[in-house]
A = this chain, B = another copy of it.
Amino acid sequence: MILPFDRTATDPASRARRGSILTPHGRIETPVFMDVGTHAFVTNCAPADLAAIGTQVVLANTYHLMLRPGPEAFRQLGGIHQFMGWPGPVLTDSGGYQIFSLPGDRTITEKGARFKGYTNQQMLLLSPERSIEVQTAIGSDIMMVLDECVASTSDEATTRAAMERTHRWALRCLGARTHADQALFAIVQGGIVPGLRRQSAAFLAEHPFDGFAIGGLAVGDTRAQREDLTALSAELMPADRPRYLMGVGTPPDLLQAMLAGVDMFDCIIPTQLASQGTAFTSTGRVRLKRMQNAVSEARLDEQCGCATCRDFSRAYLHHLFKCREPLGPRLVSLHNLHYYHTLMADSRQAIERGTFAAYAKRQLDAIDRHEHSARRFGQT
């Protein structure tokens, strides 16, 4: 195994696991939330800022980085860690999801995806081999296979065809790997069809991938479907390797998925909501643009230990958003990411203590209660 994964504890009342993954750039304590740094930066946060809020892993994107700065720049500059000044682990997504989700001309064949690059309008090919070549140049600790995503609303034949192509591409990625110190994760597809998810997990589990991801969720499915398919997929994945739920989700999504045995997560929600002025707090979401915050001396979250809560009132954060000042999204992004990392650290501790199922239930109930009371008072 390229990527040593130690499972150090299992929750007695759920499938939740506590573990650690050893990468060339340090140990990742799992379960872990990874910060989204698509273009080799987490928006308006420098690596030193991330280190201060408990970030363990930065997730970058092959599709975007092959366009800018391009693989040649990474080769000349010694890889992404050196480039962005982040000494910790980096995971790169393969670009499969971007080919699926970004607008514009693209043709997907067995060879790969042809698309027009947004930086210079040239036609480019992203094949399994090319994705691995670019990820090798980027120098990430964990690479992802190129997969073919389809909408959750696709018919079963379309979903099956994409899944089967994803399997063939996964094996081509495995064959294309040249650097033994870069781990490679496979991606389970199969849409919202339980039988296909089972097939996909079973097929991929037969091959020596370093970890397994659940792809193709949060693309048109309901929360209930997402929870069921996550639980089903996680159960079918090898227990001795990390399980990664891609692009999901809210704090309740994370808690449910940890209960189902998922180890790794990423999502744009904490930074995206921050850019709109919405903060996660121990008493529910706070929408900073609302007038009720205009002269509030209260902290964003009196329970929180982050620098934003230490240094600023809600009134000042409200003012920053009213002025459309980038310091507002920055301070709330750091707070929201700190909130996510604290949730994960508390979850890790609860799994170690064997009390995670009860902890998760308390958290889920509290979030539910805050959301109901917010709706009752017209705050959602």
Partner of A44, one of B44, B48, B83, B307: B44
- Pairwise interchain contact A76-B295, C-beta atoms closer than 8 A: yes
* Residues of chain B with a CB closer than 8 A to A47's CB: 311
* Those of A35-56 within 8 Å (CB) of chain B: 39-41, 43-48
- Pairwise interchain contact B43-A84, C-beta atoms closer than 8 A: no
Partner of A322, one of B68, B294, B325, B326: B68
Is A305 an interface position by the 8 A CB rule? no
User: How many residues of A are in contact with the other chain, CB < 8 A?
Assistant: 35
Partner of A45, one of B40, B43, B76, B327: B327
- Pairwise interchain contact B73-A315, C-beta atoms closer than 8 A: yes
- Pairwise interchain contact B46-A316, C-beta atoms closer than 8 A: no
* Those of A260-317 within 8 Å (CB) of chain B: 294-295, 297, 307, 311-313, 315-316
> Which partner residue on chain B sits nearest A47 by CB separation?
B311
A201 to B23, CA, bound (A): 68
Tallying the copies of this chain within the complex gives 2
Partner of A295, one of B43, B68, B73: B73
Is A26 an interface position by the 8 A CB rule? no
* Those of A1-53 within 8 Å (CB) of chain B: 39-41, 43-48
A319 to B60, CA, bound (A): 14
12 further interface pairs, Cβ-Cβ under 8 Å (given A39-B319, A68-B319): A39-B325, A41-B320, A41-B323, A44-B325, A44-B327, A45-B327, A69-B294, A69-B295, A73-B294, A83-B313, A83-B315, A330-B330
